[in-house]
Amino acid sequence: MFFSSISIAFFLYSGEVSRNAFYILTYISIIYFCYWVFKIDKKMHLYLLPTLVFLLGASKLVWLLLTSSPEFPLVAHHYQISGKRMVLGYFVLYCIQRNLSQWRISFKAASIASYILFVLLIMISVTNAVLYLKTGERVKVNSDAATSGAYMFVLFSMLTIYCLRRFTPKLYRPLCLAALILSVINLLATETRSALLFYGLFIIFCLVHDLFYGKKAHKKLFAAIILTTVAFALFLAKPYYNPALERMDAIQQEVTLYTQGQNNSSVGARLSLWKSAWYSFKHHPLGQSVDSRNALATRYIVQHENSNQEALNNIQFHTHNDLLDTLSLQGIFGGIIMLAFFIALLLWPFKMFPGSQAFLLLSLPVVFFSQGDCQFYNRESPYLMILVLGFLMMLRLVDVPKSRAETLPD
């Protein structure tokens, strides 16, 4: 619980601290995995989600062994690191699921973890807001790109708000309100449209949920604070958020331009890349190297997508869709594993735990953002998802005191 919370909290602030905590956690998990499998259980359990995580990582490493990509070594480098971390993450998830019926975690430990996440959310948001005001450039939130940083921040913020809501019952309203405001500020600094849209829906859900299920005390006060904050932002902070709003307004225009043959835009590039990925997959349904995929995709973009320059610039990295990107490189078998993981992530937690809606905080953003970008290509994103999954599983084991049980929200 300690190493998971530290690694998650520092993921978008200090990659070195986050990775070191993750590796320590995996080493501990491997030791206990060997102890339980060879000493206690005398067998290895095939738990669904941990096994799919292992298969995702192993499939990347096997693909690397079977193909070579001298012209695009960066893709192989990303696949190697992300695959290795997913295989290591398997041991963490296995140990957690193996002990679901035996472990109990104190309410105090969960509260401390919640405060750690909240403090780092403040530090991340303030740091990036200051950087954005100084440079005027989209912030990357300690990531390779502004988009991937925004996606991971949405996941981190939603987890933090859930923890505050669940394990700081006396102060949850002001803390959650502060977290929401800071998160919006940070996401505006990334100017990532899909993240802003998704997080906007999350805010609406939070407000409606608190209206119907929150404590009766102070509802009117906090509603007034929210309205005042929104009015203040709309009136005084327009120079800060205006670039993000302009990018939001441009979505429909980019779609219209694409239908007219002018596809050199963010949305147009994605559509061209998706088509080129499917075209590449049809030529090599059992998988191929990056060199082969990119040659086919480039040929398709030049011939059928009006030589979309934005798409040609991005094809050297990935095709902006996890499922299509996996199909185009690892073939049908890799695509089946990826699709099975998405389905299991959406459905399996409800079988493990009754009333486990909290797992949607992980599965919904992961599945949603994977349709417009490649999170499993990234070196960092996969291990954060694994940590959050294990963290949510452990939160189901928190031993809630009877005196607090009635005050906790659902």
pLDDT one digit per residue (tens) for the chain, 410 residues: 999 999 999 999 999 999 999 999 999 999 999 999 999 999 999 999 999 999 999 999 999 888 876 666 778 888 889 999 999 999 999 999 999 888 899 999 999 999 999 999 999 999 998 998 888 888 999 888 888 999 999 999 999 999 998 998 888 888 988 998 899 889 988 888 888 889 988 888 887 777 776 666 566 666 666 667 666 665 655 555 566 566 666 666 766 666 666 666 777 788 889 999 999 999 999 999 988 999 999 999 999 888 888 888 888 888 889 999 999 999 999 999 999 999 999 988 888 777 778 899 999 999 999 998 888 988 889 999 999 999 999 999 998 766 554 445 44
Task: Report pTM.
Answer: 0.90
φ and ψ at residue 398, rounded to 5 degrees:
-70, 130
Which residues, 6 or more positions from 96, have their beta carbon under 8 angstroms from its beta carbon? 390, 393, 394
Strand partners, 398: 105
User: b/e for 203-233, b at 16 or more Cβ within 10 A?
Assistant: eeebbeebeeebeeeeeeebeeeeeeeeeeb
- Using only C-alpha atoms, the chain has a radius of gyration, in whole angstroms, of 22
